[in-house]
A and B are shown apart, each in its own frame.
Chain A
Amino acid sequence: MIHSVIIFNTSGVPRLTKFYTPIYQSTQTLVQKIYSLINTRSAGLCNFLDAPELEDFLGRRDEHEQLRVVYRSYATLHFVFVVDASESELGVLDLIQVFVESLDRAFENVCELDLVFHFDEVHHILAEIIQGGLVLETNLEEIDSSVRHAAQARKQSFASANPLALGVGGGVGPRSAGIPTPLGWLTGKLTGVGAR
């Protein structure tokens, strides 16, 4: 089972925190802890980490139910999944990639600022991939179509509520809001550069 999904940037500021099991201490200290575990690891090391240190936060596990941290870094962001022994490590690594690619589709070349200003949307996308700590869907097309489906519904309800706002609404591809965003943090990802 996946216990939590956390995204933070290279300075340790959380951009998304989602817990599928209750946590026992404040989110901030947990993020700091994971950040300190990961930030010190250089690029060549493996993407898996035994994390007995996290037991204080996520509850004590059995000897053989140990938590593992699977993480992957993309330019300025670290994507961290805390999982237990029932998940395949490489599978989770692939799942992170799927998550990132879905974000990329939804936001058309996603960047950190998208995650900041559209945090709700990021949660909706995550909800199409993982539900209650379990993998729901891994097919990019399916994820994308579900996200669009929901966006469509939202747009309709928005339009019906506010007849003057026609065309302004819509959640996906919301660059229209005109917030300047630095480009390119994800461009290397598909070729695998920096995607270790």
Chain B
Amino acid sequence: MASNMRGLTQFIADIRGARVRDLEEKRINKEMANIRKKFKDGNLDGYQKKKYVAKVLYTYILGYKVDVGHMEAVNLISSHKYSEKQIGYLAVTLLMHENSDFLRLVVNSIRKDLDDNNEIHNCLALHAIANVGGTEMAEALCEDVHRLLISPTSESMVKKKAALTLLRMYRKHPDVIPAAEWALRIVAIMDDLDLGVVLCVTTLVMALAQDHLEPFAVCYQKAVDRLNRLVVEHEYSATYAYYKVPSPWLQVKLLRLLQYYPPSEDPAIQSTLYTVLETIMNNSAEQSRNMQHNNAQRAVLFEAIGLSIHLDANSPLVGTAAVLLARFISSKETNVRYLGLDTLAHLAARADSLEAIKKHQGTVIHSLRDRDISVRRRALDLLYSMCDVDNSELIVGELLRYLKVADYALREEMVLKIAILTEKYAPSYRWYVDTILELISAAGDHVGDEVWYRVVQIVTNTEDLQAYAARVVYERLKSPASHESLVKVGGYILGEYGHLIANDDGYSPLEQLHVLHTKSQFCAAPTRALLLSTYIKWVNVFPEIKPQLINIFERYRHVLDSELQQRACEFYALASRPDDDELLQNVCEEIPPFPARESALVGRMNKKHGATEDKRTWVHGGKDVNTDREANKQKRTPTGETPANGSASSPPNSAISALLGLDMSAAQTRNFDDNLASPGPAALLSKPSIAANVAVGPNVDRWFEKLSFSNDGVLYEDIQIQVGIKSRYQGHIGQVAVYIGNKLSSPFTSFTTKLDIEDPEALSVTFAKMPPTLIAARSQSQQILHVECKKFFRAPPILTISFLAGAHQTIAIRLPIVLTRFFEHVNLGPTEFFERWKLIGGAPREAQNVFPINLTAGGDIDRDRQRTVVSGHRLNLLTDVDPNPNNLVGAAVLHTSVDGKVGCLLRLEPNRDAKLCRLTVRSTSEDVSGEVLRLLKKPLSVDAAL
């Protein structure tokens, strides 16, 4: 289109024709002057404006600064002609940045384009926001963009752009996006049919989920499901295959997303994910001739390995991965070597055992000499991560040798890493001192102060080491060129511990003084000051050289540096005092050991780690470093499980016990109210919101109540959906089939189910396999749940179903899995029954309540119903125990897998005349008695929902 503007083409041709830079600049200046004049005169039509703005843009692209055209660009945006609009938007995205004042002027035009029916105008507007949008735009336009994203009428092209634009707004101004509130709706789009949309939404979810793990948790299963469809089932449109690899970008994103979450507990998801990862690794075994194919394949593979390591660094999958990586790091292709080393470093950072990696130590060390600096850097990182006590001498030795020839850009980092490794994995203190002194001599300029401080600390605190250190440092100082850091270490150590070696040959006080003092003239003032302190210490321990020392102080009294001068004067005065004076001795008392503290070096590293609000899921360094980091993160962002559970689980317990005997639905709602009312950030978390969403209503209660004492039936129904239940229980194990029927004439898409169990320690409910994401029109889908009762529990699990049928719908239902489902019959005769009855005794292990009942139409006790309820709750009705035929007596044993069995006895005594009924439950556990009473009372009393 540039070709449609002759003036522009001419301009470009002129600039290309300019032989030297000066001419080019001249031509540009001339043009800019012309444009400025034209703009100033005004009265330009759209075409002219477009042409001049295009020239300005070209100038900008060449790298020149431009200061005209902003206003015209703003005008072009509101033009009705697409060609002018497009150039206008291009100019806005190129010439302006998020804080430009001009952007205020375009907000309204952008809003108009967002609301336009023409999708290519929507796209232009979205693109502009995504590139230059700042806080202000986010505030003004967030709602519009969100609407474009979720509207069912939006085209894929618009949805994609809207997703990324929303992400930009979130980055710039997180507060405008109610992330938790929008979470389910946004995650639902991950099931879109268009993979392009899925890619963009996944990117958005990745960013939001990092900060809001809990509300977005459902994206975990979406990601696994999508990977399964791409990788295992090959379910994707052919155009999304890139050199035969199904959308590698999407795969990489999904694999990365999964690394933000702790590994899933759900066995169905786990097994699907393992299949996916396995398939990816197997796919990579076949090498193709096509480079692009290999590239894409490996991009996915490396991310998959990363995820495998994240899931479980000791799984057989990672074993396979380690073998692959070993092959990669000796590959001919540089890119592969680079990424191989990088991923191995990840493995080393997480794995419990470094054995698998150590096998390839030789190759890694060899990589330090690769001809590519990028590879050398990765090799250094890996060596740092894979070092431990066994191989530290070797690795540190190699690093020291390499340090002398290393690139300058690398040295400082290397020194820090060597110092840390030396300290962390030193096999002996002597080796430590040797190595650090070697390090200081080899790379003096790059050695930070922390390094030598730490040596001093360690030597001071380790008595055995002091004489040795003094000797070694003395030997090193004898060499003609010593680095200043070495002089500092020498000054300190000889001053403190020089006297320990003074009686040996060649280490006499005079010689020590000589060695140190000849270095002092090459040193800066702070070092000299340190040496003066050394001398005053010597005055105390080496009286034989006192005259020389006093002489030195005397000379330093006249230097210009005020700090040195003051020190010298003070020391001079101190040294000149009479010999029997105790002051000197007291001043020069031996340094006491330092309090044990964390190494300043590691501290420096950790500080860097701690501050990362990062996208990386691991850092270089050993396993412990990563574990610490996780812990830090937990501390910093207390949005995890713990507080959520804390606030959500304690109120219900206390509330239920307080309200024991009241009807159940009331208790439930009360709890939920409590939760909602609980202030603070916890209220934003998912538990309360799920609870608040639990479907209520007379029907829902009736269905739930009915199913709590029968095996099959309807659990929920409305005009769109029907949920039915079939269940079987044996002992502490149960199997529940949930039938979900779509009653509409259009399919449910993005179908998602989620289970919330208040106390997973007590009750486990899992899907047998991952649920489908689509339920066709007028059809039914069956999902099997495995149930296991581990301990006593009260709250039934909550099943949350969400789907897209036009709008996004969410229904949360209590599953009728209650304590009595895990009862098994016992048969007792009258004597046995009463024996046990008495044995258990009264309160607190007895729970009793008297409540009103309804009579049948004939004015009699509804005996059939009572029998159905009691036996439906899986208690064995015992005959011949109670002489009164109206009374019911039952017995059962509760099976739990962790806490074992609990016996439970029951007596129901209705009274027709009083329309009352007394229910007594005795059990060896007071919790069980109370709970059984609560469960049975409801359907028997007048409050029964049925």
Contacts and interface: CB of A to CB of B under 8 A. Distances in A.
Given A117-B2, A138-B242, A161-B46, A91 B160 contact: no
Interface in A104-126: 116-121, 123-124
Contacts of A127: 127
A17 B1 contact: no
A2 to B, nearest CB: 11
Given A120-B54, A139-B239, A157-B81, A28 B63 contact: yes
A158 B612 contact: no
Contacts of A63: 608-609, 612
Interface stretch (B30-38, B82-90, B674-682): B82-90
Nearest to A46: B334
A65 interface: yes
A65 B83 contact: no
A85 B616 contact: yes
Given A132-B168, A136-B164, A48 B612 contact: no
A65 B1 CA distance: 40
A55 interface: no
Interface in A6-21: 14-18, 20
A187 interface: no
A61 B305 CA distance: 26
Contact of A142 (B161, B239, B614): B239
B290 A192 contact: yes
Contact of A94 (B47, B83, B296): B296
A179 B16 CA distance: 13
Interface string B904-944: 00000000000000000000000000000000000000000
B474 interface: no
A31 B619 CA distance: 31
Contact of B86 (A27, A131, A154): A154
Q: By DSSP majority rule, is chain B's interface helix, strand, loop, or mixed?
A: helix
A116 B13 CA distance: 9
Contacts of B239: 139-142
B131 A20 contact: yes
A170 B61 CA distance: 23
Contacts of A27: 63
A163 interface: no
A192 B292 contact: yes
A33 B252 CA distance: 30
Nearest to B87: A120
A195 B291 contact: yes
Nearest to A87: B252
Specify which of B3, B164, B240, B375 lies most central, judged by the most chain A CB atoms within 10 Å of its CB: B3
A64 B252 contact: no
Interface stretch (B195-203, B495-503, B821-829, B883-891): B195-203
B36 to A, nearest CB: 21
Nearest to A84: B615
A64 B296 contact: no
Contacts of A65: 612, 614-616
Nearest to A162: B47
A9 B60 CA distance: 17
A94 B82 contact: no
Interface in A139-161: 139-142, 146, 149-151, 153-154, 156-158, 160-161
Contacts of B291: 192, 195
Interface in B107-137: 120, 123, 126-127, 130-131
A50 B377 contact: yes
A141 to B, nearest CB: 4
Contact of A49 (B2, B90, B374): B374
Given A31-B63, A49-B374, A121 B160 contact: no
A124 B127 CA distance: 10
Given A123-B90, A132-B131, A141-B239, A85 B83 contact: no
Interface string A54-81: 0000000011110000000000000000
A96 to B, nearest CB: 10
Contacts of B374: 45-46, 48-50
A183 interface: no
Contacts of A20: 131
A97 B61 contact: no
B838 interface: no
A48 B370 CA distance: 14
B582 to A, nearest CB: 51
Interface in B234-256: 239-240, 242, 247-249, 252, 256
B614 A64 contact: yes
Specify which of A15, A16, A52, A91 lies most central, judged by the most chain B CB atoms within 10 Å of its CB: A91
Contact of B82 (A132, A139, A156): A156
A123 B47 CA distance: 20
Contacts of B462: none
A150 B256 CA distance: 33
B211 to A, nearest CB: 14
A161 B47 contact: yes
Contact of A174 (B3, B161, B240): B3
A139 B196 contact: yes
A174 B615 CA distance: 42
B126 to A, nearest CB: 8
A20 to B, nearest CB: 7
A47 B334 CA distance: 8
B803 interface: no
Contacts of A47: 334-335
A186 to B, nearest CB: 15
A138 to B, nearest CB: 5
A16 to B, nearest CB: 7
A108 B377 CA distance: 41
A182 interface: no
Nearest to B291: A192
Interface string B282-299: 000000001110011011
A169 B1 CA distance: 7
Nearest to B84: A157
B899 interface: no
Interface in B37-84: 46-47, 54, 57-58, 61-63, 65, 80-84
B337 interface: yes
A90 B333 CA distance: 13
A118 B2 contact: yes
Contacts of A93: 295, 299, 335
Nearest to B611: A62
B83 A158 contact: yes
A117 B247 contact: no
B168 A146 contact: no
A85 B338 contact: no
The 5 A-B pairs of least Cβ separation, nearest first, read A132-B130, A90-B299, A46-B334, A177-B3, A28-B63
Given A15-B61, A65-B614, A177-B3, 4 more contacts: A94-B292, A97-B292, A131-B164, A136-B160
19 contacts: A16-B61, A46-B334, A47-B335, A52-B409, A64-B612, A91-B249, A91-B252, A93-B299, A97-B292, A120-B2, A121-B2, A124-B86, A134-B164, A134-B203, A139-B195, A158-B81, A158-B83, A169-B1, A179-B3
Interface of A: 14-18, 20, 22, 26-28, 31, 41, 44-50, 52, 62-65, 84-86, 88-91, 93-95, 97-98, 116-121, 123-124, 127, 131-132, 134-142, 146, 149-151, 153-154, 156-158, 160-162, 165, 168-171, 174, 176-177, 179, 192, 195
